[in-house]
Copies of this chain bind each other. A is one copy, B any other.
Amino acid sequence: MRISFVGAGNVAWHLAQALEHAGHHIVEVYSRDTRNARRLINKLYDTTVALHPDFAESSAELIILAVSDDALDDVMQRLVLPEECILVHTSGTKTLEELTRLVDIYSDVPAHTGVFYPLQTFSRDVPIELTEVPLCIEASDASTESTLIKLAQDLSNVVYLMNSEERAVMHIAAVFACNFTNHLFSISKRILDAEHLEFDLLKPLIRETVRKAMEAPDPTMVQTGPARRGDRQILERHLDYLERYPAWQGLYETLSESIMKK
Protein backbone atom coordinates (compact mmCIF):
# COMPACT_ATOMS: atom_id res chain seq x y z
CA MET A 1 0.00 0.00 0.00
CA ARG A 2 1.11 3.58 -0.60
CA ILE A 3 0.86 5.46 2.67
CA SER A 4 1.54 9.03 3.77
CA PHE A 5 1.84 10.38 7.29
CA VAL A 6 0.64 13.63 8.79
CA GLY A 7 2.66 13.99 11.98
CA ALA A 8 6.15 12.72 12.72
CA GLY A 9 6.01 12.18 16.47
CA ASN A 10 6.41 8.97 18.44
CA VAL A 11 3.45 7.15 16.91
CA ALA A 12 4.44 7.99 13.32
CA TRP A 13 8.05 7.13 14.11
CA HIS A 14 7.19 3.53 15.03
CA LEU A 15 4.24 2.97 12.68
CA ALA A 16 5.96 4.25 9.54
CA GLN A 17 9.04 2.11 10.02
CA ALA A 18 6.98 -0.98 10.87
CA LEU A 19 4.73 -0.47 7.81
CA GLU A 20 7.71 -0.09 5.50
CA HIS A 21 9.28 -3.14 7.05
CA ALA A 22 6.06 -5.04 6.29
CA GLY A 23 6.44 -4.14 2.60
CA HIS A 24 4.40 -0.96 2.29
CA HIS A 25 5.62 2.23 0.70
CA ILE A 26 5.70 5.37 2.82
CA VAL A 27 5.29 8.11 0.21
CA GLU A 28 5.36 11.36 2.18
CA VAL A 29 5.68 12.61 5.72
CA TYR A 30 4.30 15.99 6.72
CA SER A 31 4.98 17.58 10.08
CA ARG A 32 4.58 21.11 11.41
CA ASP A 33 8.16 20.69 12.52
CA THR A 34 10.03 19.84 9.33
CA ARG A 35 13.03 18.58 11.30
CA ASN A 36 10.90 15.80 12.78
CA ALA A 37 9.70 14.81 9.31
CA ARG A 38 13.29 14.82 8.06
CA ARG A 39 14.48 12.71 10.97
CA LEU A 40 11.79 10.15 10.20
CA ILE A 41 12.36 9.92 6.44
CA ASN A 42 16.07 9.33 7.15
CA LYS A 43 14.90 6.04 8.64
CA LEU A 44 12.84 5.18 5.56
CA TYR A 45 13.80 3.97 2.08
CA ASP A 46 11.97 6.16 -0.43
CA THR A 47 9.98 8.88 1.31
CA THR A 48 9.84 12.62 0.77
CA VAL A 49 9.12 15.39 3.25
CA ALA A 50 5.87 17.20 2.43
CA LEU A 51 6.27 20.89 3.22
CA HIS A 52 2.51 21.46 3.24
CA PRO A 53 -0.30 19.06 4.12
CA ASP A 54 -1.43 19.16 0.50
CA PHE A 55 -1.82 15.64 -0.85
CA ALA A 56 -3.90 16.58 -3.94
CA GLU A 57 -1.22 15.19 -6.23
CA SER A 58 -0.10 12.43 -3.88
CA SER A 59 -0.19 8.80 -4.93
CA ALA A 60 -1.02 7.78 -1.35
CA GLU A 61 -3.99 5.45 -0.91
CA LEU A 62 -3.94 5.88 2.86
CA ILE A 63 -3.18 8.95 4.92
CA ILE A 64 -2.45 8.39 8.58
CA LEU A 65 -3.06 11.29 10.93
CA ALA A 66 -0.57 10.70 13.72
CA VAL A 67 -1.00 14.02 15.48
CA SER A 68 -2.08 14.94 19.00
CA ASP A 69 -5.81 15.30 19.67
CA ASP A 70 -5.37 19.05 20.09
CA ALA A 71 -3.80 19.44 16.66
CA LEU A 72 -6.43 17.45 14.78
CA ASP A 73 -8.87 20.22 14.03
CA ASP A 74 -6.15 22.59 12.91
CA VAL A 75 -4.48 20.09 10.60
CA MET A 76 -7.82 19.08 9.08
CA GLN A 77 -8.45 22.70 8.12
CA ARG A 78 -5.26 22.73 6.08
CA LEU A 79 -5.26 19.15 4.81
CA VAL A 80 -5.89 18.64 1.09
CA LEU A 81 -6.86 15.09 0.28
CA PRO A 82 -6.29 13.14 -2.94
CA GLU A 83 -9.27 11.47 -4.64
CA GLU A 84 -10.40 8.13 -3.30
CA CYS A 85 -8.17 7.87 -0.29
CA ILE A 86 -8.62 6.43 3.17
CA LEU A 87 -7.99 8.84 6.02
CA VAL A 88 -7.41 7.43 9.51
CA HIS A 89 -6.51 8.89 12.87
CA THR A 90 -4.49 7.08 15.51
CA SER A 91 -6.19 8.51 18.60
CA GLY A 92 -7.66 6.53 21.47
CA THR A 93 -10.09 9.28 22.40
CA LYS A 94 -11.32 10.88 19.17
CA THR A 95 -14.36 9.17 17.66
CA LEU A 96 -14.64 8.08 14.06
CA GLU A 97 -17.60 10.41 13.75
CA GLU A 98 -15.47 13.41 14.68
CA LEU A 99 -13.05 12.61 11.87
CA THR A 100 -15.84 12.05 9.36
CA ARG A 101 -17.39 15.36 10.36
CA LEU A 102 -14.08 17.20 9.91
CA VAL A 103 -13.75 15.73 6.40
CA ASP A 104 -17.30 16.85 5.61
CA ILE A 105 -16.60 20.37 6.84
CA TYR A 106 -13.15 21.04 5.48
CA SER A 107 -12.42 18.75 2.54
CA ASP A 108 -13.42 19.37 -1.08
CA VAL A 109 -13.21 15.67 -1.85
CA PRO A 110 -14.82 12.90 0.17
CA ALA A 111 -12.75 10.20 1.88
CA HIS A 112 -13.20 6.87 3.50
CA THR A 113 -12.42 7.31 7.17
CA GLY A 114 -11.17 5.05 9.87
CA VAL A 115 -9.33 4.65 13.13
CA PHE A 116 -6.00 2.87 13.40
CA TYR A 117 -5.28 3.04 17.11
CA PRO A 118 -2.26 1.27 18.59
CA LEU A 119 -3.04 0.60 22.26
CA GLN A 120 0.46 1.39 23.45
CA THR A 121 2.64 4.26 24.63
CA PHE A 122 5.59 5.05 22.38
CA SER A 123 8.92 6.73 22.98
CA ARG A 124 11.09 7.49 19.99
CA ASP A 125 14.19 5.92 21.50
CA VAL A 126 12.59 2.77 22.90
CA PRO A 127 12.07 -0.03 20.36
CA ILE A 128 8.64 -1.60 20.67
CA GLU A 129 7.71 -5.07 19.44
CA LEU A 130 4.68 -3.97 17.44
CA THR A 131 3.59 -7.58 16.86
CA GLU A 132 2.42 -7.65 20.50
CA VAL A 133 0.67 -4.28 20.42
CA PRO A 134 -3.13 -4.43 20.08
CA LEU A 135 -4.25 -2.48 17.01
CA CYS A 136 -7.82 -1.25 17.33
CA ILE A 137 -9.59 -0.72 14.04
CA GLU A 138 -12.77 1.10 13.10
CA ALA A 139 -13.92 2.17 9.65
CA SER A 140 -16.65 4.11 7.88
CA ASP A 141 -17.51 1.22 5.56
CA ALA A 142 -16.92 -2.49 5.07
CA SER A 143 -14.29 -2.26 2.36
CA THR A 144 -12.23 0.26 4.33
CA GLU A 145 -12.58 -1.95 7.37
CA SER A 146 -11.21 -4.96 5.56
CA THR A 147 -8.33 -2.91 4.11
CA LEU A 148 -7.39 -1.60 7.56
CA ILE A 149 -7.66 -5.02 9.16
CA LYS A 150 -5.36 -6.51 6.54
CA LEU A 151 -2.88 -3.69 7.06
CA ALA A 152 -3.04 -4.08 10.83
CA GLN A 153 -2.45 -7.80 10.56
CA ASP A 154 0.78 -7.08 8.67
CA LEU A 155 2.03 -5.40 11.84
CA SER A 156 0.46 -7.10 14.82
CA ASN A 157 -0.91 -10.42 15.99
CA VAL A 158 -3.55 -8.63 18.05
CA VAL A 159 -5.98 -6.85 15.74
CA TYR A 160 -9.28 -5.81 17.20
CA LEU A 161 -12.41 -4.27 15.73
CA MET A 162 -13.47 -1.67 18.26
CA ASN A 163 -16.07 1.05 17.86
CA SER A 164 -15.67 4.53 19.28
CA GLU A 165 -17.76 3.84 22.40
CA GLU A 166 -15.69 0.76 23.21
CA ARG A 167 -12.49 2.70 22.61
CA ALA A 168 -13.70 5.36 25.06
CA VAL A 169 -14.28 2.71 27.75
CA MET A 170 -10.88 1.22 26.97
CA HIS A 171 -9.43 4.67 27.55
CA ILE A 172 -11.11 5.03 30.95
CA ALA A 173 -9.78 1.61 31.94
CA ALA A 174 -6.31 2.68 30.78
CA VAL A 175 -6.48 5.84 32.87
CA PHE A 176 -7.06 3.69 35.95
CA ALA A 177 -4.51 1.01 35.10
CA CYS A 178 -1.77 3.24 33.67
CA ASN A 179 -2.09 6.97 34.40
CA PHE A 180 -3.28 6.53 37.99
CA THR A 181 -0.82 3.72 38.62
CA ASN A 182 2.01 5.97 37.52
CA HIS A 183 0.76 8.63 39.91
CA LEU A 184 0.79 6.14 42.79
CA PHE A 185 4.42 5.41 41.97
CA SER A 186 5.09 9.16 42.16
CA ILE A 187 3.45 9.42 45.58
CA SER A 188 5.36 6.39 46.78
CA LYS A 189 8.65 7.92 45.66
CA ARG A 190 7.82 11.23 47.33
CA ILE A 191 7.05 9.51 50.63
CA LEU A 192 10.38 7.69 50.52
CA ASP A 193 12.32 10.78 49.40
CA ALA A 194 11.11 12.65 52.46
CA GLU A 195 12.76 10.03 54.68
CA HIS A 196 15.83 9.65 52.48
CA LEU A 197 14.86 6.12 51.56
CA GLU A 198 15.52 4.96 48.03
CA PHE A 199 12.64 4.31 45.66
CA ASP A 200 14.95 1.82 43.92
CA LEU A 201 14.52 -0.53 46.88
CA LEU A 202 10.85 -0.83 46.06
CA LYS A 203 11.26 -1.58 42.37
CA PRO A 204 11.74 -5.35 42.56
CA LEU A 205 8.56 -5.57 44.64
CA ILE A 206 6.65 -3.34 42.21
CA ARG A 207 7.80 -5.39 39.23
CA GLU A 208 6.82 -8.66 40.89
CA THR A 209 3.44 -7.26 41.99
CA VAL A 210 2.65 -6.19 38.44
CA ARG A 211 3.89 -9.49 37.02
CA LYS A 212 1.57 -11.38 39.38
CA ALA A 213 -1.39 -9.14 38.56
CA MET A 214 -0.84 -9.60 34.82
CA GLU A 215 -0.57 -13.38 35.09
CA ALA A 216 -3.46 -13.95 37.47
CA PRO A 217 -6.87 -14.66 35.93
CA ASP A 218 -8.01 -11.53 37.78
CA PRO A 219 -5.85 -9.01 39.71
CA THR A 220 -8.42 -9.17 42.53
CA MET A 221 -7.25 -12.72 43.23
CA VAL A 222 -3.72 -11.54 44.08
CA GLN A 223 -4.73 -8.45 46.07
CA THR A 224 -2.69 -8.19 49.27
CA GLY A 225 -2.03 -5.57 51.93
CA PRO A 226 -3.56 -4.26 55.14
CA ALA A 227 -6.88 -3.20 53.55
CA ARG A 228 -7.33 -6.61 51.98
CA ARG A 229 -6.60 -8.29 55.34
CA GLY A 230 -8.85 -5.78 57.13
CA ASP A 231 -5.91 -4.97 59.42
CA ARG A 232 -7.36 -1.89 61.15
CA GLN A 233 -4.33 -1.45 63.39
CA ILE A 234 -1.93 -1.00 60.46
CA LEU A 235 -4.46 1.15 58.57
CA GLU A 236 -4.72 3.49 61.55
CA ARG A 237 -0.95 3.66 61.92
CA HIS A 238 -0.53 4.50 58.24
CA LEU A 239 -3.26 7.15 58.33
CA ASP A 240 -1.58 8.73 61.37
CA TYR A 241 1.71 8.93 59.54
CA LEU A 242 0.01 10.42 56.48
CA GLU A 243 -1.36 13.36 58.53
CA ARG A 244 1.55 15.32 57.03
CA TYR A 245 0.22 14.70 53.50
CA PRO A 246 -3.54 15.46 53.76
CA ALA A 247 -4.27 14.80 50.07
CA TRP A 248 -2.55 11.43 50.11
CA GLN A 249 -4.12 10.57 53.44
CA GLY A 250 -7.50 11.02 51.77
CA LEU A 251 -6.37 8.91 48.84
CA TYR A 252 -5.11 6.19 51.18
CA GLU A 253 -8.46 6.13 52.95
CA THR A 254 -10.54 6.10 49.74
CA LEU A 255 -8.45 3.37 48.13
CA SER A 256 -8.42 1.24 51.28
CA GLU A 257 -12.20 1.52 51.60
CA SER A 258 -12.59 0.56 47.97
CA ILE A 259 -10.45 -2.54 48.53
CA MET A 260 -12.39 -3.49 51.68
CA LYS A 261 -15.71 -3.25 49.83
CA LYS A 262 -14.78 -6.18 47.55
Chain A interface, number of residues (Cβ within 8 angstroms): 84
| Given A123-B212, A170-B197, A173-B192, 16 more pairs with CB closer than 8 A | A119-B204, A134-B201, A170-B201, A172-B238, A172-B241, A173-B189, A176-B185, A176-B187, A176-B191, A177-B206, A179-B259, A183-B258, A186-B223, A189-B218, A247-B257, A247-B261
Provide the residues of chain B in CB contact with A247, threshold 8 Å: 257-258, 261
A69 vs chain B, min Cβ distance (A): 8
A254 within 8 A of B: yes
B176 and A252 contact, CB distance less than 8 A: yes
A182 and B219 contact, CB distance less than 8 A: yes
Known: A121-B208, A121-B224, A207-B214. A173 touches B186 (CB 8 A): no
A133 within 8 A of B: yes
Per-residue CB contact flags for chain A residues 231-261 toward chain B (1 = under 8 Å, else 0) read 1001001100110000110111011011101
| CA gap between A90 and B76 in the complex, in Å | 61
Provide the residues of chain B in CB contact with A175, threshold 8 Å: 225-227, 238, 252
Provide the residues of chain B in CB contact with A166, threshold 8 Å: 195, 197
Contact of A223 among B182, B188, B202 (CB under 8 A): B182
- Give the 9 A-B residue pairs with the shortest CB-CB distance, closest first: A179-B225, A177-B188, A185-B219, A178-B209, A173-B188, A176-B188, A186-B220, A186-B219, A134-B201
Where the two chains meet, the residues of A that have a C-beta atom closer than 8 Å to any C-beta of B are: 69, 93, 119-121, 123, 126, 128, 132-134, 136, 158, 160, 162, 166, 168-189, 191-192, 195, 197, 199, 201-210, 212-214, 218-220, 222-228, 231, 234, 237-238, 241-242, 247-248, 250-252, 254-255, 257-259, 261-262
